[in-house]
Amino acid sequence: MIDETASTTDDTQRDASIGYRDIIRALVRDPLVLVSVIFLTLLILSAIFAEIVAPMDPLIPNIFASRLPPLSYATGLDGTEQLHLLGTDALGRDMLSRLIFGARASLFVALVSVFVSGVLGTCLGVIAGYYGGWVETVVMRAVDAFMAVPSLLIALFVLFIIGGGLVNMILIFALVRWVVYARLARGITLSLRETQFVEAARAIGASNARIMLRHILPNMISPLLVLATLEIALLVLAEAGLSFLGFGLVPPEPSWGLMISRGREYMREAWWMITLPGLAIFLTTLSLNLIANWFRAVMDPVQRWRWLM
Amino acid sequence: MAVVDVKADMQSDQPVLDVRDLKVTFQTPRGHVHAVNGVSFHVEKGEALGILGESGSGKSVSVGAIMGLLESPPARIEGQVNYRDTELISAPASVTRSIHGDRIAMIYQDAITSLNPSLTIGNQIGELFKVHRPNMGRREIQAKSIELLEAVGIQPARERVNSYPHEFSGGMNQRIMIALGIALSPEILIADEPTTALDVTVQAQIMRLLGDLRGQIDMALILITHDIGLVAENTDRLMVMYGGGPVETGPTDAIIERPAHPYTIGLLNSIPHDDMKGKKLIAISGSPPKLNEMPKGCVFAPRCAMAKDMCRKEIPVMTRIAPDHSSACHFAQEVVDG
């Protein structure tokens, strides 16, 4: 182990601090990730500025232009000729506009829930793993309880009682998904707290809080990040699923899940109505996964140089 | 504490660290394991004490107890560890935290695993100041970290301060550990096998560096090792441990010239010399006792060439054979006289 590290040492002086320039250079050398980053950036920007970007109002129907295939023209309600780049749905609403507004709902729900559940789960997991004893018992039994029931089922049940909507969905997702982070964080903490550098930190008089925050947490960022990206993908799907079943966002609010649910009825005659929102979900999750993988490598000080060289 | 109060007005004579009758027992499902059985020693200001013993002799556990690194349960710690006027074992965590790392520092055997892989070394050195000197500003901490790296011979310190542990060699990492150890000019530095994982040449460099730095800040050193050559060159006094307790204590020179315990003699005999070419190296037969199945009398009796009936029945006590030299052998005097 020591010989290995010795050989990588002196030959080149590697500057450990990385700037924007290094990251951009590394991105350009990895076209797949670059495309993912561009796609997600555009998606997020258009979700934020949906009112400006979207060509039409996503909520106003136009019965005379229903189920138009992509790239067709139709006379709008104001009498002018309009291009429906990605076609229209059963009520004649513009697909592109609905996808853009749907991105806002899907991404917002997924990102906020992942953030809330990630922070909650990681904190509880680290504390459980670090202190052990009854704290661990309480937290981990709660985790087991949540794991024993499919989380979508709990979400379904609670949303049925308290009703759907954006805020309720976020709260429910945070409530059912924190357990996966808690499990991961506890497992890593268990192994890290026995390491010599944690013992060394204790020997310099570091407090428990400092050890958890400064020594244990940074060492689990990579796996947590990967888990979080996978969870975003999962929650985009869950949001879609719940909305599809009618427990999530309420129509006519645009959401990818709702669009698939409506498009299902016209699968034979209007393929774009179900394919396009499906594609949106697929591309978003795929980009997230690719970026997660790349980000993990760049975040890891041991692997970083391969990517930045 | 009363004893300490009386001593308080003679500060200069008082040892910086005084360990009395330290006992560490681990409670395991298979019964109690006595890892340390009544260890007593003291360290004077600026002196170098060697603790010599093989694996399982209790040397690292003793240090763990001093540094408050043992989790309890399963460990049960008895006895006293006095740092000046503070008894560390019964003191609350807030008190021991302010002493550990600041006044008593420690460096480990395997430097690369003792450094956090995901923080730069500048970060890790800076942490010591953040914990113990909360008033120091960021700039000051950065400057001090660079200064420390220069002191332990890492060049160019200004750039290397932003490197991660894996970017250094084993010897370099041990230097960084030493920088961490001496950062706050502690009074006592505990070095737990600091050179075991290193090449002999690097080992010599590291020990020389430790010696130099020690001279500069008048720091006491507790050197824990199984390498008798290392303690011979680098310590003033020596405690030889076996089976969880001390078997011989005294000035290093005296012990090496006139060993008073058969175990010490065995250790000395197992070092190869030039004039032994062609001869067989004498090893101590057998292996150390299991800590949950201690022999009844002297712990070393089963492996001792000189053992008599008495040794298997009675536990020997530390007997003085010279003013500062004691041995836990029933026949210490005979052993010295050869």
Asked if B323 is an interface residue toward chain A (Cβ–Cβ < 8 A), one would say no
Does ipTM come in above 0.85? no
Q: What is the pLDDT of residues B68-122, one digit of tens each?
A: 888 777 888 888 898 888 888 888 888 888 888 889 999 888 888 889 988 899 9
Question: Could A16 and B132 be called an inter-chain contact, meaning their C-beta atoms sit closer than 8 Å?
Answer: no
List, as one string, the DSSP characters of A202-255. Answer: HHTT--HHHIIIIIIGGGGHHHHHHHHHHHHHHHHHHHHHHHHHTSSSPTTS--
Question: Could A203 and B97 be called an inter-chain contact, meaning their C-beta atoms sit closer than 8 Å?
Answer: no
Q: What is the pLDDT of residues A175-200, one digit of tens each?
A: 999 999 999 999 999 999 888 899 88
pLDDT band at residue A41, thresholds of 50, 70 and 90?
Answer: very high
Mean residue pLDDT across chain A: 83
Domains of chain B: 2-103+184-259 (3.40.50.300)
Q: Is B183 helix (H, G, I), strand (E, B) or coil?
A: coil
Residues of chain B contacting A309 with CB distance shorter than 8 Å: none
Read off the DSSP letter of residue A40: H
Which of B114, B128, B178 to substitute to test the interface with A, most A CBs within 10 Å? B114
Q: Is the dihedral of CA B124, B128, B131, B134 positive or negative?
A: negative
Asked if B69 is an interface residue toward chain A (Cβ–Cβ < 8 A), one would say yes
Asked if A306 is an interface residue toward chain B (Cβ–Cβ < 8 A), one would say no
Nearest-angstrom CA–CA distance, A151 and A163 = 17
Q: Identify the weakest region by mean pLDDT among A56-60, A122-126, B33-37.
A: A56-60
Strands B48-52 and B188-192: unpaired
pLDDT value of position A187: 93
Name the residue facing A301 among B118, B127, B170 (closest C-beta): B118
Contact B246, B332 (CB under 8 A): no
Asked if A14 is an interface residue toward chain B (Cβ–Cβ < 8 A), one would say yes
- Distance to chain B for A188, nearest Cα, Å: 14
Residues of chain A contacting B167 with CB distance shorter than 8 Å: 5, 8-9, 14, 16
pLDDT band at residue A113, thresholds of 50, 70 and 90?
Answer: very high
Residues of chain B contacting A221 with CB distance shorter than 8 Å: 118
pLDDT value of position B170: 84
State both tokens at A121.
């789960």
Question: Could B131 and A206 be called an inter-chain contact, meaning their C-beta atoms sit closer than 8 Å?
Answer: yes
Asked if B132 is an interface residue toward chain A (Cβ–Cβ < 8 A), one would say yes
> What Å distances lie between residue A146 and A112, A124, B37, B218, B238, CA to CA?
20, 14, 48, 58, 58
- Distance to chain B for A300, nearest Cα, Å: 7
- Residue A152 pLDDT exceeds 90: no
Asked if A209 is an interface residue toward chain B (Cβ–Cβ < 8 A), one would say no
Whether a cis peptide bond, with omega within 30° of 0, leads into B74 is yes
- Residue B145 pLDDT exceeds 60: yes
User: Length of chain B in residues, anyone?
Assistant: 338
Residues of chain B contacting A17 with CB distance shorter than 8 Å: 162
pLDDT value of position B9: 43
Q: What is the pLDDT of residues A230-266, one digit of tens each?
A: 888 788 888 888 887 888 887 777 888 888 888 888 8
Asked if B91 is an interface residue toward chain A (Cβ–Cβ < 8 A), one would say no
- Distance to chain B for A5, nearest Cα, Å: 5
Edge-to-edge strand ranges of the sheet holding B75-83? B31-43, B17-28, B75-83, B86-87
Residues of chain A contacting B102 with CB distance shorter than 8 Å: 205
Name the residue facing A16 among B115, B162, B171 (closest C-beta): B162
Read off the DSSP letter of residue A167: H
- Residue A10 pLDDT exceeds 80: no
pLDDT band at residue A308, thresholds of 50, 70 and 90?
Answer: low
Closest to A224 in 3D by CA, of B195, A251, A216: A216
Residues of chain A contacting B112 with CB distance shorter than 8 Å: 1-2, 5
Asked if A12 is an interface residue toward chain B (Cβ–Cβ < 8 A), one would say no
What angle is formed at CA B176 by the lines to CA B193 and CA B227, rounded to 5 degrees? 15
Q: What is the pLDDT of residues B202-219, one digit of tens each?
A: 888 888 888 888 888 889
Helices A95-131 and A272-299 sit at what angle, rounded to 10 degrees? 40
pLDDT band at residue A217, thresholds of 50, 70 and 90?
Answer: very high
Residues of chain A contacting B198 with CB distance shorter than 8 Å: 2
Q: What percentage of chain B carries pLDDT values higher than 70?
A: 96
Domains of chain A: 19-308 (1.10.3720.10)
Asked if B134 is an interface residue toward chain A (Cβ–Cβ < 8 A), one would say no
What lies within 8 Å, CB to CB, of B190 at 6+ separation is: B63, B66, B67, B104, B105, B106, B107, B221, B222, B224
